[in-house]
Chains A and B, each alone.
Chain A
Amino acid sequence: MCLGVPAKILKTGDATAVVELGGVRREISVMLIDDVSVGEWVIVHAGFAIEKLSEDAAKQTLALFREIAEADPSGDS
């Protein structure tokens, strides 16, 4: 029910933006979010950006994964 992908804003328009994912571009509506700028990341679902993706929070999550992986007591299991 939630198929949404992270895509980067390439261009902004009126209530629309052009996003890119893996070299693929599509125009989407940004009427559901505020103040998008070029270079920001959003989640795209059914032709709309439904929320922004926080690059900081993503980094923190990945850092947490790295920590867990490195602290693994069972070593190379």
Chain B
Amino acid sequence: MNRGMKYIDEFRDPATAKVLVERIRRDAGDAPVRLMEVCGTHTVAIARGGIRPLLAGAVTMLSGPGCPVCVTPDGYIDAAIALGTERGALLASFGDMLRVPGRTSSLEKEKGAGLEVRVVYSPLDAVTLAAATPDREVVFLGVGFETTAPAIGGAIKTASVRGVENFTVLPSLRTIPEAMGVLASDPDVRIEGFLCPAHVSAVIGTDAYRAVAETRGIPCVVAGFEPLDILMGISMLLRQKKEGIARVENEYSRVATTTGNRKAQALMRDVFVPCDAGWRGIGVIPGSGLGISDAYAAFDAEKKFGIPVVFAREKTACRCGDVLKGKILPADCPLFGNACVPEEPYGPCMVSSEGSCAAYYKYGAI
């Protein structure tokens, strides 16, 4: 009963996992190799797999800013709440966003006070919702990286084609390669290898990381999310380091290709335009965001309702930024585990199921 999921279960074989762990330990040097998993889904997969303690002493996994919820600024939540409370919009959102703290409140708290928020699995469900409630404005909270951007773009196109005029998106889309570049050049961070995201890569193509590998000299391996994928990806990074090379390699060849999904990329170019984006804890990274293009301005909630998303300075006690940059481990933040816990999170790293702090807290820094 537990063995029926193709392309998932074969990548969870315990015997192979054991061998890969041994291989990693043999290839590691005297000091633990500092690798960064960029993608939040990798952070959770590593935590759920109990992989960190398996590699203790050989590899230190730093968790990067690949959690779109974590890097979404307070101002976004505030704008979303305002759209609901001041403009009477019906909000539709991925579940991940509900407990993220804005400056003073969160969607979940406001829901308790009457804000209408519907959790959806797909942005298309929000379009369907809008079509079914023509007398309400439906605003979809479009948060994500390049994995999700095509889906959100697809929803906007669908709404456009179907003439669903009461559907808009409040975008909070960010792109990965620019952020990796910023991290790679930060001397405090000292990353020796990047474990690159599986599904972002499926969309943008593995060539997207060549600049980081070739100009910064940091090995990059694209890896899937199953335990064997992750262990193999880490092993490949260690081999590159051992051989003194820095290339982009692809462990997730069953899905990711060098050029990626051209059709999805074309759709993104149609619906979105690159823009500067503020990343919580990192600051503004030029060209690292996606805004809605003029052709689809009618579906842009910021423009339609005149409620801008303001990138504000974070609460000073919160060290999410340093956690996101991999400068400190969650346990190093003075708030971790006391003032900042999953039930009462101070910052998004603790709220998001993907956040490094939440993963550490839930699955244990054992």
Judged by a CB distance under 8 angstroms, whether B85 is at the interface is: no
Secondary structure at chain A's binding surface: helix, strand, loop or mixed? mixed
Cβ of A43: which chain B residues have Cβ within 8 Å of it? 199, 202, 255
Q: A34-B263, A65-B232 are in contact. Are A60 and B199 (CB under 8 A)?
A: no
B-chain residues with CB within 8 Å of residue A50 when the two chains form the complex: 147, 150-151, 199, 202-203, 261, 264
**Of the residues A41, A47, A66, A69, contact of B7 by C-beta under 8 Å:** A41
Most central of A31, A54, A62 by chain B CB within 10 Å:
A31
Task: Tell me how far the C-beta of A27 lies from the nearest C-beta in chain B, rounded to whole angstroms.
Answer: 10
B157–A2 CB distance below 8 A: no
Decide yes or no: A54 and B254 within 8 Å by CB, A45-B148, A47-B123, A72-B19 being known contacts.
Answer: yes
CB-CB under 8 A from A68, the residues of chain B are 16, 19-20, 23
Instruction: Flag if B16 contacts A46 (CB, 8 Å).
Output: no
Q: Point out the residues of chain A lying under 8 angstroms from B7, CB to CB.
A: 6, 41, 53, 58
B41 and A1 form a contact (CB under 8 A): yes
Chain A: how many interface residues by the 8 Å CB criterion? 40
Beta-carbon contact of A47 and B125 below 8 Å: yes
Given A31-B154, A47-B123, A51-B202, residue A4 in contact with residue B147 (CB < 8 A): yes
Instruction: Evaluate contact between B154 and A32: CB separation under 8 angstroms.
Output: yes
* Given A1-B66, A47-B124, A77-B22, 20 more pairs with CB closer than 8 A: A1-B41, A1-B197, A2-B40, A2-B145, A2-B198, A4-B198, A4-B199, A6-B8, A29-B124, A29-B158, A31-B157, A32-B263, A51-B261, A51-B264, A57-B255, A60-B253, A62-B10, A65-B16, A65-B232, A66-B16
A38 at the binding interface (Cβ < 8 Å): no
> Which B residues lie at the A interface, using CB under 8 A?
4-8, 10-11, 13, 15-16, 18-20, 22-23, 39-41, 66-68, 94, 121-125, 144-145, 147-148, 150-151, 154, 157-158, 197-200, 202-203, 225, 228, 232, 251, 253-256, 261, 263-264, 267, 354
Binding site for B on A (CB under 8 A): 1-6, 8, 21-23, 28-29, 31-34, 41, 43, 45-48, 50-55, 57-58, 60-62, 65-66, 68-69, 72, 74, 77
